[in-house]
Amino acid sequence: MKKIGIGIIGLGNIGSRFYKEIITNKREIGLKTGTNINIVGVSAKNINKKRNFKFQKKIFFKNPLDITKNPKVNIVIELIGLSDGISKKIVENALKNKKHVITANKALISKHGDYLSLLAEKNKVNLEFEASVCGGIPILRTLKDGLATNKINKVIGILNGTSNYILSEMEKSKNSFKKVLNKAQILGFAETNPQFDLDGNDVLAKIRILSALSFNNKISKSKCLMSGIENIELKDIDMANKLNLRIKLLGITEIINNKLFERVHPCLIKKDKYISNINGVMNAVILEGVPVGQSVLQGEGAGSGPTSSALLSDLLSILRGNIKYPFGISSNKRKNIKSYDKNLYSNSLYLRFEVKDKPGVLSEITKKLANFKISIERLIQIPDRKNKKASIVIITHKTNERNSTKCLQVFKKNKNIIKNPTLIRLF
Amino acid sequence: MKKIGIGIIGLGNIGSRFYKEIITNKREIGLKTGTNINIVGVSAKNINKKRNFKFQKKIFFKNPLDITKNPKVNIVIELIGLSDGISKKIVENALKNKKHVITANKALISKHGDYLSLLAEKNKVNLEFEASVCGGIPILRTLKDGLATNKINKVIGILNGTSNYILSEMEKSKNSFKKVLNKAQILGFAETNPQFDLDGNDVLAKIRILSALSFNNKISKSKCLMSGIENIELKDIDMANKLNLRIKLLGITEIINNKLFERVHPCLIKKDKYISNINGVMNAVILEGVPVGQSVLQGEGAGSGPTSSALLSDLLSILRGNIKYPFGISSNKRKNIKSYDKNLYSNSLYLRFEVKDKPGVLSEITKKLANFKISIERLIQIPDRKNKKASIVIITHKTNERNSTKCLQVFKKNKNIIKNPTLIRLF
């Protein structure tokens, strides 16, 4: 049995669970790979923090970079999670020192993945990051292996458990965004600072990784159509419900006329569609490819269990001795695909205006929309007489992003419109 | 670029599509694997059959076994599909001659998989069979790689597209089993002889392969709880509908008290459950594991596209140079897990009796059920006065298989009961 040393850097929720899973599964991993694995180094901010497992003090490294150059270490697991700084240094140094690297760090991979994968290839070691996208769904491995040589056309996903939990729970409990977010934080479904989960950045990072694996392109740096769920109110959830629709934060990437179109935004989806029935903290990915047709994968997206499952699968892949290109093909074969001009993207929109309840306001709005040739499919007005306000919900026919953005700009100057209109794209 | 010769045996629907996919994807496969692949041998019953592609006559082998010993051939693709006979010989000879083998043959693998995988290991070549279970869903690779080291507890699947299409279409069209089967045959969703698809044998073969990969056991040979969909009538579909249930043919494998329990039978499932909403020719697999939680995979199960996708993924796995154990771990580490006594399995049952419309018949039935301590949760009687008949549908409380089998035996002697009762287990 070949002896393999593992170094784990970061012993938070994920790192601790992974540590224990390795101990528990050591025998089975040995059976499956013919290796004798041992954790020979760990590093964390605080050696003395209370943890529900024990490790020998002699394997603790105060400076995590020391793990990356320790001759006993063959595989470095980076679980700190920064897009730059020490996380980047750890991965960089480990690869340069010919250590395999496993990371759950989507921020790092979506920003520096091209550079780091080249580094891994040069040093003939693996860089694995299955856990960076939908922990419980082996989506990267499915794209690299299970569906390899399929021509993927489109990927649609519910990729952020926090957002999906909040939207589901608002619908179920009829509680406000704020209240539900608070509950999510208590239950551990949202972080203390949930900004990246709510504003779409977390989904964008995952979508960029998925694009690279689906279309063999270098990770796109261009600005993407993105909005999060922070502006979704209970009113919108209710209205969607009445229209037999459901709001979901989707990440979508596809090739349109040989150009890459990545986007992240809430969508209004018919309730009978599969994707609108993925509720709570679940994640789901729909792949459309040739020859396979449509493939759907669903599972828990985050949490220490699903994430450990992904990390273990990366570990096994390395232990089985498969040196693989991190993105499925060699870096120099990966293409730069131009970005699709998001302004050309055309879609039906849901617009909610909060207005003063005064005569003429509605006609001001509809007139402006007409000026921009945005035609109305449906209009619903909900008065709030007590506060002399009203909500006006408009479902438009298709219009492109350039047009709708310009049009919504104009409303900013209108004093009868109390706040920026809420915009949700129809699926 | 390393030159690799491929031999394809069987040029039916799947073989033809796969042939074309290889030609189309040759360049991309080269990029991903650094190999130069060429089809150097094909074999089929009839060289002159009209095909929508052309091959050079000189690569045609009248005797498929000649392909398995041809020095130019490195990988043999077996697409004939028999559980024994020539299919077995081809795979056996190819492995003995140190050729990698890819097959879509679930009958062969579920019967001789243990022997053949040992043969592959001895000869240090790959035996890959992703296409044997749910073509469009990379489920075997997911178990071997993506969810590797998870402790899988239970696998539930809709694994037969033909059966699922028939059940869905009966519900949708309100047509009889026979009519819908006929339509399925015209559309190519059912074979001319669909027996194995309808009687559960096809699902059983897949379940046995899934068990072996999930639980690391040798393929079970013991008799399994199995029934197909041939006795499902439109009456049952309608009744299910009224009860807010849906009938699905499920394959289920799980470990109960360290014993293996494999079963294949129609189930009545609540309409709001995920699995009851997999319709038409779609397949789905639900995996429950630790630490991953629940994972769901859904995709097209059969057809030349999805099956080719699976074959291509096997091909890539081989070309990337990963010699792997066919069942994930070495044959001598695979366990013999004892079978759970299916007679102990306890469940609620749906029973439909077709009876003569005579006084006392109902009480005869309920009395017999009471004798066997089978208590009734719900009873629905549907008279058919014109024909002096009635249908009696009974939903029972939980009872075990031994008991229900004995009880149903007794009814056979009852002349007022026109035919064997239809039994469907509740999910």
* A21: chain B residues, CB-CB within 8 Å: 149, 291
* A325: chain B residues, CB-CB within 8 Å: 32
- Cα(B260)–Cα(B253) distance, rounded to whole angstroms? 7
pLDDT of B323 over the 80 cut: no
Domain covering A343-426 in this structure, CATH number:
3.30.70.260
First and final CA of chain B: distance in angstroms?
53
A290, A308, A313 member nearest B146 (Cβ): A313
Best to test chain B binding among A17, A26, A27, A147 (most B CBs inside 10 Å): A147
- Cα(B72)–Cα(A289) distance, rounded to whole angstroms? 32
A28, A294, A324 member nearest B149 (Cβ): A28
Low-confidence ranges of chain A (pLDDT < 50): none
CA distance A9 to chain B (A): 20
Helix (H) or strand (E) holding B171: helix B161-173
Contact A299 B294 (CB under 8 A): yes
Best to test chain B binding among A150, A158, A270, A311 (most B CBs inside 10 Å): A150
Catalytic residue of the set A144, A206, A248, A342: A206
* A306: chain B residues, CB-CB within 8 Å: 291-293
CATH architecture of B139-298: 2-Layer Sandwich (3.30)
The nearest alpha carbon in chain A to B334 belongs to A31
pTM: 0.89
pLDDT of B319 over the 90 cut: yes
What lies within 8 Å, CB to CB, of A46 at 6+ separation is none
Residue ranges, comma separated, of all CATH 3.30.70.260 domains in chain A are 343-426
- Read off the pLDDT of residues A178-224 as tens digits, 9 standing for 90 and up: 999 999 999 989 999 999 999 999 999 999 999 999 999 999 998 89
What lies within 8 Å, CB to CB, of A146 at 6+ separation is B130, B138, B141, B142, B146, B313
- Cα(A361)–Cα(A324) distance, rounded to whole angstroms? 61
* A329: chain B residues, CB-CB within 8 Å: 31-32
What lies within 8 Å, CB to CB, of A16 at 6+ separation is A51, A52, A53, A304
Per-residue pLDDT, B272: 87
Q: 3-class secondary structure for A354-386?
A: EEECCCCHHHHHHHHHHHCCCCEEEEEEEEEHH
Q: Is the distance from CB of A335 to CB of A217 less than 8 angstroms?
A: yes
Contact B294 A300 (CB under 8 A): yes
Phi and psi (nearest 5°) for B309?
-55, -45
Per-residue pLDDT, B212: 97
Q: Residue A161 corresponds to which tokens in the numbers above?
A: 């458990």
B141, B289, B320 member nearest A324 (Cβ): B320
Mean model confidence pLDDT for chain B:
95
The nearest alpha carbon in chain B to A135 belongs to B292
Is the ipTM here above 0.90? Answer: no
* A299: chain B residues, CB-CB within 8 Å: 292-296
A291, A296, A317 member nearest B298 (Cβ): A296
- Read off the pLDDT of residues B281-292 as tens digits, 9 standing for 90 and up: 999 999 999 999
Three-state DSSP at A247 gives: strand
Q: Which residues of A257-272 are buried (b: 16+ CB within 10 A; e: fewer)?
A: eeebbbbbbbbbbeee
* A289: chain B residues, CB-CB within 8 Å: 309
What lies within 8 Å, CB to CB, of B334 at 6+ separation is B114, B212, B216, B217, B218, B327
Q: Is the distance from CB of B277 to CB of B298 less than 8 angstroms?
A: no
* B303: chain A residues, CB-CB within 8 Å: 293
Can you tell me the mean pLDDT for B367-390?
Answer: 94
Contact A316 B142 (CB under 8 A): no
* B296: chain A residues, CB-CB within 8 Å: 296-299
A28, A300, A317 member nearest B293 (Cβ): A300
Domain covering A139-300 in this structure, CATH number:
3.30.360.10
Q: Residue A225: beta bridge partners?
A: A263
Per-residue pLDDT, B165: 96
Contact A305 B293 (CB under 8 A): yes
- Cα(A344)–Cα(A342) distance, rounded to whole angstroms? 5
- Cα(A275)–Cα(A264) distance, rounded to whole angstroms? 15
Contact B299 A308 (CB under 8 A): no
Q: Which CATH class is domain A2-132?
A: alpha beta
CA distance B279 to chain A (A): 12
Can you tell me the mean pLDDT for B87-96?
Answer: 98
Q: What percent of chain B has pLDDT over 70?
A: 100
Residue ranges, comma separated, of all CATH 3.30.360.10 domains in chain B are 139-298
Best to test chain A binding among B273, B309, B316 (most A CBs inside 10 Å): B309
Per-residue pLDDT, A345: 96
A142, A306, A320 member nearest B142 (Cβ): A142
- Cα(A37)–Cα(B149) distance, rounded to whole angstroms? 14
Residue ranges, comma separated, of all CATH 3.30.70.260 domains in chain B are 344-426
Per-residue pLDDT, B403: 96
- Cα(A274)–Cα(B44) distance, rounded to whole angstroms? 41
- Read off the pLDDT of residues A259-272 as tens digits, 9 standing for 90 and up: 999 999 999 999 98
Per-residue pLDDT, A324: 85
How sure is the predictor about B8, in pLDDT bands with cuts at 50, 70 and 90? Answer: very high
Report in angstroms the alpha-carbon separations of A98 from A71, A112, A125, B128: 10, 18, 6, 31
Burial-class residue B413 by CB neighbours within 10 Å (0-12, 13-18, 19+).
Answer: exposed
What lies within 8 Å, CB to CB, of A143 at 6+ separation is A152, A210, A213, A214, A287, A328
Number of inter-chain CB pairs under 8 A, A vs B? 162
Catalytic residue of the set B106, B206, B248, B342: B206
Residue ranges, comma separated, of all CATH 3.30.360.10 domains in chain A are 139-300
A296, A320, A330 member nearest B324 (Cβ): A320
Residue ranges, comma separated, of all CATH 3.40.50.720 domains in chain B are 2-132
- DSSP conformation letters of A302-335: SSHHHHHHHHHHHHHHHHTT----TTSS-GGG-B
The nearest alpha carbon in chain B to A33 belongs to B329
Contact A146 B149 (CB under 8 A): no
Sign of torsion over alpha carbons A92, A94, A100, A103 = negative
Query: CATH: 3.40.50.300, 1.50.10.10, 3.30.70.260, 3.40.309.10. Which one for B344-426?
Result: 3.30.70.260
Per-residue pLDDT, B257: 94
CA distance A88 to chain B (A): 25
- How many degrees, rounded to 5, is the angle at CA B311 between CA B307 and CA B316? 145
Best to test chain A binding among B149, B319, B335 (most A CBs inside 10 Å): B149
- Known catalytic membership, residue B144: no
Per-residue pLDDT, B413: 87
- Cα(A154)–Cα(A158) distance, rounded to whole angstroms? 14
